[in-house]
Every structure is written in structure tokens, then in C-alpha cells.
Amino acid sequence: MTGHTTQLQNLIDLATKGDNSAWEATLQHACDRLRALASRMMRTNQRVRRWAETDDVLQNSLIRLHRSLSEVRPESPRQFYGLATTHMRRELIDLARKHFGAEGLGANHHTDGGIASDNKPNTAEPETIEAWIKFHEQVEALPDQEREVVNLLWYEEMSQPEAADVLGVSLATVKRRWQSARIRLSETLDGEAFQ
């Protein structure tokens, strides 16, 4: 295991043995990685970024994660990152719906000059938000093993060898699951390529 993963596993072991303060230490240990994840996710959609800050997304995701740790006790970095990424994804979906739903401020506020040449509002942008939401929902719907790989490689930005280490599988298995997830997502996202 890598140093980060080993330390995370040690903290999880302490927490599962009853040291409740170890969950706080686990969250602190993973915070930088989760902040990077939040930042990356906010970069994937500039329109959402206009209405929320990366630290707000991180804080709300950590609150969700903290609450769930009272009921769900991950026993490995694999389970911990799966849970953390799930809460981050759900926070981003809720954020997009909040700001770009029918009553959302972002959906009804137009100061970016997005007027088409025929003086009608540009309607392409809400589809982008819908595609963004659809992508996160489709990741959520992937089979468990494929979703884990997408969580680690795409959301957490781990290398394939790091993901193999966290999952306890071979590098070939990670590559196979990654390819399968990419194909499945591409098919469900109307043929749009998923990198």
C-alpha cells in the first residue's frame, strides 16, 4: 500500500475498534484529496461554479459524509473513498438542481450575454447542466465494481496502480473495469465519449 492508503487504513482500523476520534482524524487525513476532488468537479461546469465555491461543496460533502459515518462504518480505504465520492456526487447533483431547476436562481438569471442572434435566449446551456447531472446519475447507476473504479480514477484522480492498490485487485482488473465503465457510460450518455 502507498503511504497515504496505509495511514488511512490505520485510522479506519482505530475507528472500527471504537476510537470515535479516529473518524475525525480520517476525515482530516482525506480532506486534501477531497478538496482536490471538489475543485475538479467544480471545474467541469463553469455555470455551477458561478453559484457555489469549491469549499462550500467540500464542506457540505463532508457534513454528509460525517453524518453517514454514524451509521456506515467503512472498513477499508476502498469503502471510505466509495462513500466519500458518493456524497460528493450527490452534493453536486443537488447543487445543480438547486440552481438550475425551474425555480433556480441560475436558471432564471441571465447576465452572461447568452442571447442568440435571433434575440431569443440561448437554450443550449440548460442542456449542459442536464448532461452534467445525467453524467453523475449514470455513474451512480454503474455496477459496483465499475463505479468504484470510476470513483477512484475519475473523481479521485488516482493513477491506475494506486486504484489497484486501494481495491486490492490487479492492474489488469482495474483497466478492464475502467474500459467497461467508459463503454457503458458512453452508451448511456447518447454516444458522447467519456474519457
Contacts of 62-66 with C-beta under 8 Å, sequence gap 24+, read 62/27, 62/31, 62/34, 64/90, 64/91, 65/27, 66/23, 66/27
Q: What angle do CA 26, 27, 31 make, to 5 degrees?
A: 120
**pLDDT (0 to 100) of residue 32:** 85
Determine the pLDDT at residue 115. 37
82 phi/psi in degrees, rounded to 5 = -60, -45
pLDDT exceeds cutoff 60 at 42? yes
If we measure between CA atoms, which residue out of 174, 131, 123, 126 comes closest to residue 150? Answer: 174
Contact 44, 132 (CB under 8 A): yes
**Helix intervals (H) in 54-191:** 54-68, 77-100, 124-141, 144-150, 160-167, 171-188
From its phi and psi, is residue 153 left (phi > 0), alpha (psi between -120 and 50) or beta? alpha
Give the residue, 69 or 190, on which the prediction is more confident.
69
| Dihedral over Cα of 183, 189, 191, 195: its sign | negative
Output the furthest CA–CA distance in the chain (Å, rounded). Answer: 66
Convert the pLDDT of each residue in 124-170 to its tens digit.
233 467 777 888 889 999 999 999 999 899 888 889 999 999 999 99
- Residues 174-195, mean pLDDT to the nearest whole number: 82
For the chain, the average pLDDT equals: 80
The model's pLDDT over 46-97, given as tens digits with 9 standing for 90+, comes to 666 777 788 888 899 999 998 998 899 899 999 998 999 899 888 888 887 8
Type of residue at 125: E
Average pLDDT value for residue range 28-43? 84
Lowest mean pLDDT among 5-19, 49-63, 96-110: 96-110
**Single pTM value for the model:** 0.70
Mean pLDDT over 30-54 rounds to 78
